[in-house]
Structure 1
Amino acid sequence: MDLKQSVIAITGAGQGLGQMMAVTLAHAGAELALLDVNQKALDDTKRQCLMLGVKALTYQVDVTQEAQVEQVFSDVVIDFGQLNGLVNNAGILRDGLLVKVKDGQVSKMSLEQFNAVIDVNLTGTFLCGREAAVQMIETQSQGVIINISSVARAGNIGQTNYAASKAAVATLATTWAKELARYGIRAAAIAPGVIETPMAAQMKPEAMARLEAMIPVGRMGKTAEIANTVKFIFENDYISGRILEIDGGIRM
Structure 2
Amino acid sequence: MTTTKQVALVTGGTKGIGLAIAKHLASNDQYQVVINSHRELDADAVRALQAEFSTEVGIVTGDVAQAEDAERMIQTVVDQYGSLAVLVNNAGQTQDKLMTRMTEASFKDVLGTNLVGTFNMSKFALKVMQKQRAGVIINMSSIAGLHGNLGQANYSASKAGIVGLTKTTAREGALRGIRCNAVAPGMINTDMTAKLSDKIVKQFENEIPLKRFGEVQSIAETVAFLVENDYITGQVITVDGGLTM
TM-score (norm 2): 0.91
**Counterpart in 1 of 2:27?**
27
Q: How far has the Cα of 1:48 moved from its partner? A: 2.5
2:179 aligned with 1:186: yes
Counterpart residue type for residue 48 of structure 1: E
- CA distance in 1 between partners of 2:114 and 2:195 (Å): 16
Match of 1:246 in 2: 239
CA distance in 1, matches of 2:201, 2:103: 23
Compute the displacement of 1:171 (Å): 1.3
Q: What residue ranges of structure 1 are gaps of 5+ in the alignment?
A: 100-107
Establish whether residue 221 from structure 1 lines up as the match of residue 214 from structure 2: yes
1:165-224 alpha-carbon deviations (Å, 9 max, x no partner): 111111111111111101110000000000111232344655444323211101111000
Query: How far apart are the structure 2 equivalents of 1:202 and 1:117?
Result: 19
Aligned counterpart, 1:103: none
Is the counterpart of residue 196 in structure 1 residue 189 in structure 2? yes
Pairing of 1:1-252 with structure 2 (within 5 A): 5-29=5-29, 30-38=31-39, 39=41, 43-49=47-53, 51=54, 53=55, 55-99=56-100, 108-138=101-131, 140-153=132-145, 154-203=147-196, 206-251=199-244
Q: Residue 238 of structure 2: SS of its match in structure 1?
A: strand
The Cα shift of 1:45 comes to 3.4
CA–CA distance in 2 between the matches of 1:202 and 1:119? 24
CA distance in 1, matches of 2:47, 2:166: 29
Q: Which residue of 2 aligns with 1:102?
A: none
Identity rate, percent: 38
User: Shift of residue 43 of structure 1?
Assistant: 5.0
For the residue of structure 1 that corresponds to 2:8, the secondary structure is strand
Corresponding residue for residue 105 of structure 1: none
Aligned-partner residue type, residue 7 of structure 2? V
Deviations 1:33-71 (A, max 9, x none): 11011425565333323x2x3x42101111111111111
Deviation at 1:111, TM superposition (A): 0.6
The number of residues matched between the two structures is: 237
Contact in 2 for aligned 1:92/1:199 (Cα 8 Å): no
**For residue 20 of structure 1, what is the amino acid of its counterpart?**
A
Distance 1:80 1:124 in 2: 23
Q: What is the TM-score with the length of structure 1 in the denominator?
A: 0.89
State the superposition RMSD in angstroms: 1.7
Q: Distance in 2 between matches of 1:249 and 1:42?
A: 37
**Structure 2 CA distance for aligned equivalents of residues 36 and 74 of structure 1:** 16
Distance 1:213 1:223 in 2: 20
CA distance in structure 1 between the partners assigned to 2:198 and 2:156 by the alignment: 19
Any idea what SS the aligned residue of 2:204 has?
Answer: helix
Distance 1:42 1:156 in 2: 35
**SS of alignment partner, residue 75 of structure 2:** helix
User: Retained in 1: the 8 A contact 2:130–2:173?
Assistant: no
Alpha-carbon separation, structure 1, partners of 2:118 and 2:195? 22
